[in-house]
């Protein structure tokens, strides 16, 4: 009887030791390996947190989108002579040193100041600009997300050139605004969502020349550019509707007096009207030189003129001063503005500058702001 009891106790001891060994082996730390999405140092244990949760443990709700984003803007771009040669050589490298400054923001926009055609009749004007559809490939490769064609060179080659331009835009899938088969299409904004913020970008041409004074303003059944001079109420109403619908609204205009660094009365009036309609930012080009920039009293940010950017000719020295404007938006307002000075060189490319040259260009910008209605600091 004693032998049986002893043997029974010995068997129970062996069972307990085996159970203990099983528990200990289950608690061993697993070797460290690559974490999820390449996070260094994550372990297999940390990849499965659900195993340590008990029933009823509250889970953390996902963070709400920040609605903070950046948009970069540059001025006039086209592909003639020296820049046309760059485009023909390789569309992917046309912008060269300018590309990193364009591609860094969440959204980037330029003014594409050219017809996209190899046909058509030159219109009654001094300068005529045109290119082929690879220009849109070059913009995309440089990090540009959307372009405006609402300018005084979009229809340099008449009805045929305009038809080709609209066809090229549609075929490319690249977003181009400010021009269309009718007024509804020309005034239609580019829309997107970034970090939870819904954004609407409009474009229009206020320059009074052959394009807006002839048959090339978009109408009820007529193709052309969005005309901000004759049809300003339509633009203002569209901006107001977008702002009321909850969009962060941006307007890119072709406007101003050529070679004048100071804003003109037409620019001032339209900027004020758009600000009252709810535009968070209004930027533009056309003057070929840098114009003033800053905030209106209600918090709308305005840059009256970004100057040339990718340009076909040498031109006067002050027409080579330029840069990339990057605005930071938060909860529907511009909270910060950064300007990266650049200078157009012999190849037509706007290369970033630093040191004394950057200080000089920033000084030109400050002087232009002094003759505007804008404040260099954000209103409190």
Residue 253 Cα to chain centre, angstroms: 15
As given in the structure block, the two tokens for residue 378 are: 């954000």
Q: Can you give the pLDDT at residue 38?
A: 34
pLDDT digits (tens, 9 = 90+) for 38-80: 333 333 333 333 333 334 445 566 677 889 999 999 999 999 9
Q: Can you give the pLDDT at residue 214?
A: 79
Q: Can you give the pLDDT at residue 104?
A: 97
pLDDT digits (tens, 9 = 90+) for 332-370: 999 999 999 999 999 999 999 999 999 999 999 999 999
pLDDT band at 21 (very low <50, low <70, confident <90, very high): very low
Q: Crossing angle for the helix pair 158-172 and 134-141, nearest 10 degrees? A: 40
pLDDT band at 313 (very low <50, low <70, confident <90, very high): very high
Residue 310: closest CA among 117, 76, 141? 76
> What is the DSSP annotation of 1-69?
-HHHHHHHHHHHHHHHHHHHHHHHHHTPPPPP---GGG-TT--TTTT-GGGGPPTTPPPPPPPPP--EE
Q: Can you give the pLDDT at residue 65?
A: 81
Q: Can you give the pLDDT at residue 61?
A: 63
pTM score over 0.75: yes
Q: CB burial class (10 A; 0-12, 13-18, 19+) of residue 250? A: buried
Q: Could you identify the residue written with the tokens 């300007």?
A: 339
pLDDT digits (tens, 9 = 90+) for 174-223: 999 999 999 999 999 999 999 999 999 999 999 988 888 878 999 999 99
pLDDT digits (tens, 9 = 90+) for 89-133: 999 999 999 999 999 999 999 999 999 999 999 999 999 999 999
Higher local confidence (pLDDT), 215 or 232? 232
C-alpha 192/C-alpha 175 separation (Å) is 11
pLDDT digits (tens, 9 = 90+) for 250-286: 999 999 999 999 999 999 999 999 999 999 999 999 9
Contact 254, 281 (CB under 8 A): no
Q: Can you give the pLDDT at residue 312?
A: 97
Q: Can you give the pLDDT at residue 210?
A: 85
Contact 87, 79 (CB under 8 A): yes
Q: Crossing angle for the helix pair 232-244 and 265-277, nearest 10 degrees? A: 30
Q: Can you give the pLDDT at residue 46?
A: 30
Instruction: Residue 231: count other Cβ atoms within 10 Å of its Cβ.
Output: 19
């Amino acid at each position: 009887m004693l032998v049986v009891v002893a043997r029974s106790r010995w068997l129970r001891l062996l069972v307990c030791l085996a159970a203990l060994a099983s528990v200990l082996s289950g608690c061993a730390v697993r070797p460290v390996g690559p974490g999820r999405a390449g996070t260094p140092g994550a372990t297999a244990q940390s990849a499965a947190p659900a195993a340590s949760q008990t029933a009823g443990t509250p889970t953390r709700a996902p963070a709400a989108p920040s609605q903070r984003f950046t948009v970069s803007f540059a001025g006039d771009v086209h592909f003639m002579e020296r820049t046309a040669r760059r485009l023909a050589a390789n569309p992917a490298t046309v912008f060269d040193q300018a590309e990193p400054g364009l591609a860094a923001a969440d959204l980037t926009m330029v003014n594409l100041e050219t017809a996209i055609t190899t046909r058509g009749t030159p219109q009654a004007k001094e300068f005529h600009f045109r290119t082929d559809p690879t220009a849109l490939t070059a913009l995309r490769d440089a990090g540009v997300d959307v372009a405006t064609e609402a300018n005084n060179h979009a229809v340099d080659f008449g009805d045929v050139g305009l038809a080709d331009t609209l066809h090229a835009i549609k075929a490319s899938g690249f977003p181009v605004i400010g021009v269309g088969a009718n007024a509804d299409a020309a005034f239609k904004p580019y829309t997107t969502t970034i970090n939870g913020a819904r954004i609407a970008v409009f474009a229009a041409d206020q320059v009074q020349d052959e394009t807006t004074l002839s048959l090339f303003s978009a109408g009820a059944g007529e193709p052309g550019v969005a005309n901000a001079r004759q049809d300003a109420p339509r633009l203002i109403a569209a901006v107001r509707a977008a702002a009321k619908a909850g969009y962060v609204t941006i307007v890119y205009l072709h406007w101003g007096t050529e070679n004048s660094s100071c804003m003109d009365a037409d620019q001032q009036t339209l900027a004020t009207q758009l600000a009252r309609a709810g535009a968070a930012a209004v930027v533009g080009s056309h003057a070929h030189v840098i114009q003033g920039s800053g905030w209106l009293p209600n918090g709308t940010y305005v840059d009256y003129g970004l100057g040339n950017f990718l340009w076909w000719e040498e031109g006067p020295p002050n027409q080579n001063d330029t840069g990339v404007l990057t605005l930071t938006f938060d909860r529907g307002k511009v909270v910060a503005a950064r300007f990266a000075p650049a200078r157009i060189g012999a190849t037509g490319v706007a290369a970033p500058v630093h040191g004394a040259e950057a200080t000089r260009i920033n000084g030109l910008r400050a002087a232009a702001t002094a003759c505007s209605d804008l404040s260099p600091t954000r209103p409190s």
